[in-house]
């Protein structure tokens, strides 16, 4: 059964990293409901992305493993539901 | 093979003061970086946006052998063939736009088959990026899905570090293809030379997992208690150089071993514990008994759909141990009861220590008994047929005459499956084929690369008439460099595997699969390659021997039955244990 998941991801910040991440999800036809990317305020070479996706638990877990394989990606965490997305995005907006 | 025909012209030394740093171009930095990475052979094709690199290459002919292919797809497949036989990183060079996009098929092939290659592409000047300049294509974004990593370099100062990173990523962990796109201004830019530093680590990339001993203990316990354990060996055995460890593990535990298509050569076919080739056209015993084993041990393999058949009916009775260096492969298709995230060699060494000496003779005999049924119903008929030549007898003779020790490069289709079934591989890195991608046109250029990667080996490309014509232009490369590969085309004047499916599953409607072929002998001869054609059984052995004995490139066409099928076969959607030994009765 499909449900919402929040994917929290930290990575290097370069020109292609967002495309790499989206490719992983698009190829597996994972629906992206919301997305927010940000640059680390202390180091522009680092950054992160949070995504709210709608998919199955199995596919969310498999996408996590594929995302972790990306060379630039550091840590990936998958949270059930949208609460984490709302909290994380508010924190990012507050920083900005 | 002939040396590069470009004359060696060492670069004249600039009249500079001893104390001033050497000033060199981005192109020369690239070539120095390649030399520092141990590269000796490059497969490539020049063009506008890579011309500065080719100009610098003119002065590097004593250090880097450049093979001018006839199409960029040929370059990338040659780099793959080189990498697969040598274990080193293969290198391909191409220009921007179409030159770069012609690499895409090979990159995708290398990604799915875990082949370490680095492709260098030229790109338009940085200030023209995004302007739709002549031969500008967004190569980085185009190749993201087909590379392990890629990068665009727009300044000369970043070239060396990008190359270092590219080689490190390509060869470590699960190997794969990397592309470095270099803008023309970066190639031209003159900067101070600096000492080359090899990449030794990347903050966000951890290629070598730490072996978890708890996982090994759990696996060993399952194996020690198993009555019908069974090893499926994939290419991970070859990539990690774990053949000796696999043999030792199988011998100590008495466990039968079957190989996937890319795993062929990873375990000797003449070993008593070898039970055959897995998959859709694999051997009878290893397919049927997948659904009888109690512990299934997948090592360095990814449970490809050609191996599993219908996943919902695959090894449901078994406890599954999956050993793989790529964590994302574990439980991707078949849930693993015991995941072992590790390099195959390291995991096998640990398992050898922890597993008890055992014997599963009755279980092993069951594989051999089933394979004997296949031998009676299929193999003996293939080896001793009547009527037109049969693919199986051709490959059988090739295997016999080369004692299973040649590097055999296959394309995709019936000839590929026949070669996988009947060529008796003895050593790792001798079976080269396009597995996951199934790229027709792979074999001829990959054989060129294999010849450079294993110059002391006999290299034979076994190809169908369809795939041969997809990259036939590489005969020009073979001619120019006198590359002594042997080309064996099994010609049935059909796209044979598609025709087989049309016959079995589409009411024998041969929709656009019959081929009106040219005179292949004349074509080879036009490229100054010795050529022969064999149609009769009584001439076959002599024709193959003549081909193998030739010191030069040689082309042999074997005309085989038009409508022969490859059996056994697991029909699409069926369980591996429902493998067919013959066509179903209508």
Q: What ipTM was estimated for this complex?
A: 0.95
Contact between residue B109 and residue B437 where contact means Cβ atoms under 8 Å apart = yes
pLDDT digits (tens, 9 = 90+) for B306-355: 999 999 999 999 999 999 999 999 999 999 999 999 999 999 999 999 99
Q: Which of A19, A65, A73 sits opposite B141 (nearest CB)?
A: A19
The CA distance from B110 to B195, in Å, is 31
| 3-state DSSP helix/strand/coil % of chain B, to nearest 5 | 40, 20, 40
Average pLDDT, stretch B220-228? 98
What secondary structure letter does DSSP report for B22? Answer: P
Query: Are β-strands B229-233 and B295-299 bridged in parallel, bridged antiparallel, or unpaired?
Result: parallel
Return the number of other C-beta atoms located less than 10 Å from residue B198's C-beta.
14
Give the pLDDT of residue B20. 82
Q: Report CA B577 to chain centroid distance, whole Å.
A: 28
**B328 and A65: CB-CB below 8 Å?**
yes
The CA distance from B118 to B257, in Å, is 33
Instruction: Tell me the whole-structure pTM to 2 decimals.
Output: 0.96
List Cβ neighbours of A76 (8 Å cut-off, separation of 6 or more): A7, A8, A9, A64, A67, A68
Give the pLDDT of residue B3. 44
* Residues B287, B292, B293, B294, CA torsion sign: positive
pLDDT digits (tens, 9 = 90+) for B520-530: 999 999 999 99
Measured between CA atoms, the residue of chain B closest to residue A19 is B141
User: In Å, how far is A32's CA from the nearest CA of chain B?
Assistant: 18
Contact between residue A62 and residue A28 where contact means Cβ atoms under 8 Å apart = yes
Helices (H), B155-253: 159-171, 184-188, 213-225, 235-239, 243-253
> Does the pLDDT at position B269 exceed 70?
yes
User: In Å, how far is A74's CA from the nearest CA of chain B?
Assistant: 5
- Rounded to the nearest 10°, the torsion over CA B141, B145, B148, B150 is -10
The CA distance from B218 to B224, in Å, is 10
Chain A contact set for B325 (CB, 8 A): none
User: In Å, how far is B209's CA from the nearest CA of chain A?
Assistant: 12
Q: Is A30 helix (H, G, I), strand (E, B) or coil?
A: coil
Give the pLDDT of residue B9. 60
The CA distance from B185 to B51, in Å, is 11
pLDDT digits (tens, 9 = 90+) for B300-317: 999 999 999 999 999 999
| Model confidence band, residue B6 (pLDDT cutoffs 50, 70, 90) | low
List Cβ neighbours of B113 (8 Å cut-off, separation of 6 or more): B80, B235, B262, B434, B435, B436, B437
Query: Are β-strands B190-192 and B23-25 bridged in parallel, bridged antiparallel, or unpaired?
Result: antiparallel
The CA distance from B263 to B123, in Å, is 37
Return the number of other C-beta atoms located less than 10 Å from residue B117's C-beta.
36
> Does the pLDDT at position A15 exceed 90?
no
Least confident range from A70-74, B16-20, B134-138: namely B16-20
Give the pLDDT of residue B4. 45
Contact between residue B460 and residue B451 where contact means Cβ atoms under 8 Å apart = no
| Model confidence band, residue A94 (pLDDT cutoffs 50, 70, 90) | confident
Query: Are β-strands B431-433 and B90-94 bridged in parallel, bridged antiparallel, or unpaired?
Result: unpaired
Mean pLDDT taken over chain B = 96
Max Cα distance, chain B (Å): 86
> Does the pLDDT at position B444 exceed 90?
yes
Least confident range from B5-9, B379-383, B453-457, B540-544: namely B5-9
Catalytic residues of B: 72, 134-135, 184, 497
> Does the pLDDT at position B270 exceed 70?
yes
**B144 and A16: CB-CB below 8 Å?**
yes
Q: Report CA A94 to chain centroid distance, whole Å.
A: 19
Q: Which of B149, B169, B328 sits opposite A66 (nearest CB)?
A: B328
Measured between CA atoms, the residue of chain A closest to residue B335 is A58
**B204 and A74: CB-CB below 8 Å?**
yes
- Select from B111, B139, B144 the residue whose CB has the most chain A CBs within 10 Å, as the one to mutate to test that interface: B144
Measured between CA atoms, the residue of chain A closest to residue B173 is A69
List Cβ neighbours of B9 (8 Å cut-off, separation of 6 or more): B58, B59, B61
**A16 and B140: CB-CB below 8 Å?**
yes
List Cβ neighbours of B485 (8 Å cut-off, separation of 6 or more): B447, B448, B450, B451, B459, B460, B461, B478, B553
Chain A contact set for B141 (CB, 8 A): 16, 19
| Model confidence band, residue B12 (pLDDT cutoffs 50, 70, 90) | low
From the CA atom positions of chain A, what is the Rg in Å?
A: 13
Counted residue by residue, chain B has a size of 586
**Which residues of A make CB contacts under 8 Å with B?**
11-12, 15-16, 19-20, 23, 27, 62, 65-66, 68-69, 71-74
List Cβ neighbours of B232 (8 Å cut-off, separation of 6 or more): B258, B259, B260, B263, B278, B290, B296, B297, B298, B299, B301, B307
The CA distance from A20 to B191, in Å, is 32
User: In Å, how far is A25's CA from the nearest CA of chain B?
Assistant: 11
Chain B contact set for A62 (CB, 8 A): 328, 332
Give the pLDDT of residue A24. 97
User: In Å, how far is A81's CA from the nearest CA of chain B?
Assistant: 23
pLDDT digits (tens, 9 = 90+) for B455-500: 999 999 999 999 999 999 999 999 999 999 999 999 999 999 999 9
Give the pLDDT of residue A91. 86
Average pLDDT, stretch B426-446? 98
> Does the pLDDT at position B5 exceed 60?
no
**A16 and B141: CB-CB below 8 Å?**
yes
What's the start-to-end Cα distance of chain B, in Å?
53
Max Cα distance, chain A (Å): 40
Give the pLDDT of residue B584. 82
């Amino acid at each position: 059964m499909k449900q919402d998941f929040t994917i929290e991801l930290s990575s290097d910040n370069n020109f292609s990293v967002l495309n790499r991440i989206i490719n992983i999800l698009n190829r597996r036809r994972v629906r992206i409901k919301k997305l927010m990317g940000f640059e680390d305020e202390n180091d522009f070479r680092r950054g992160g992305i949070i995504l709210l996706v709608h998919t199955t638990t199995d596919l969310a877990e498999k996408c996590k493993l594929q995302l972790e394989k990306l060379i630039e990606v550091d840590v990936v965490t998958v949270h059930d539901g949208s609460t984490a997305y709302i909290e994380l995005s508010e924190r990012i907006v507050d920083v900005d | 093979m002939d040396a590069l025909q470009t004359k060696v012209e060492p670069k004249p030394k600039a009249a500079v003061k001893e104390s001033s740093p050497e000033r060199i171009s981005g192109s020369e930095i690239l070539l120095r970086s390649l030399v520092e990475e141990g590269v000796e052979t490059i497969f490539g094709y020049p063009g506008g946006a890579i011309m500065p690199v080719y100009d610098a290459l003119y002065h590097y002919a004593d250090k880097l052998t450049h093979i001018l292919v006839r199409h960029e797809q040929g370059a990338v497949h040659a780099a793959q063939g080189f990498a697969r036989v040598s274990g080193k990183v293969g290198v391909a060079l191409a220009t921007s736009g179409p030159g770069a996009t012609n690499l895409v098929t090979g990159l995708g092939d290398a990604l799915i088959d875990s082949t370490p290659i680095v492709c260098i592409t030229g790109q338009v000047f940085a200030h023209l990026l995004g302007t739709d300049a002549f031969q500008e294509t967004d190569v980085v974004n185009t190749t993201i899905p087909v590379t392990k990593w890629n990068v665009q370099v727009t300044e000369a100062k970043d070239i060396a570090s990008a190359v270092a990173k590219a080689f490190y990523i390509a060869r470590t962990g699960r190997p794969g293809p990397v592309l470095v796109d270099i803008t023309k201004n970066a190639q031209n830019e003159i900067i101070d030379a600096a000492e080359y530093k090899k990449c030794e680590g990347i903050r966000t990339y951890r290629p070598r997992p730490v072996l978890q001993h708890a996982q090994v203990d759990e696996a060993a316990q399952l194996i020690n208690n198993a009555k019908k354990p069974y090893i499926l060996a994939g290419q991970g055995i070859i990539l990690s150089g774990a053949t000796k460890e696999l043999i030792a593990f199988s011998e100590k535990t008495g466990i039968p071993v079957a190989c996937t298509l890319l795993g062929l050569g990873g375990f000797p076919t003449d070993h008593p514990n070898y039970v055959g080739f897995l998959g859709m056209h694999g051997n009878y015993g290893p397919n049927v008994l997948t659904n009888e084993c109690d512990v299934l041990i997948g090592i360095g393999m990814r449970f490809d759909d050609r191996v599993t058949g219908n996943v919902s009916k695959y090894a449901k009775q078994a406890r599954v141990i999956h050993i793989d260096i790529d964590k994302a492969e574990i439980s991707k298709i078949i849930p693993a009861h015991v995941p072992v995230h590790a390099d195959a060699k390291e995991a096998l060494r640990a398992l050898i220590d922890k597993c008890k000496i055992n014997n599963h003779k009755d279980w092993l005999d069951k594989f051999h008994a089933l394979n004997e049924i296949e031998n009676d119903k299929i193999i003996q008929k293939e080896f001793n047929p009547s009527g037109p030549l049969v693919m199986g007898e051709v490959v059988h003779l090739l295997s016999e005459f080369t004692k299973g020790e040649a590097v055999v490069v296959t394309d995709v289709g019936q000839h590929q499956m026949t070669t996988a079934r009947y060529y008796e591989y003895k050593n790792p890195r001798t079976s080269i084929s396009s597995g996951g991608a199934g790229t027709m046109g792979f074999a001829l250029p990959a054989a060129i690369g294999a010849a450079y990667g294993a110059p002391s080996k006999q290299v034979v490309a076994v190809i169908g008439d369809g795939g041969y014509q997809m990259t036939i232009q590489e005969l020009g490369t073979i001619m120019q460099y006198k590359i002594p590969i042997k080309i064996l085309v099994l010609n049935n004047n059909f796209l044979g595997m598609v025709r087989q499916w049309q016959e079995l599953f589409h009411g024998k409607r041969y929709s656009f699969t019959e081929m009106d072929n040219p005179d292949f002998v004349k074509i080879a001869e036009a490229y100054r390659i010795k050529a022969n054609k064999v149609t009769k059984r009584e001439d076959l052995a002599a024709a193959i021997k003549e081909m193998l004995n030739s010191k030069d490139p040689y082309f042999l066409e074997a005309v085989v039955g038009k409508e022969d099928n490859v059996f056994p076969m697991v029909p699409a959607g069926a369980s591996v244990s429902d493998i067919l030994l013959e066509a179903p009765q209508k």
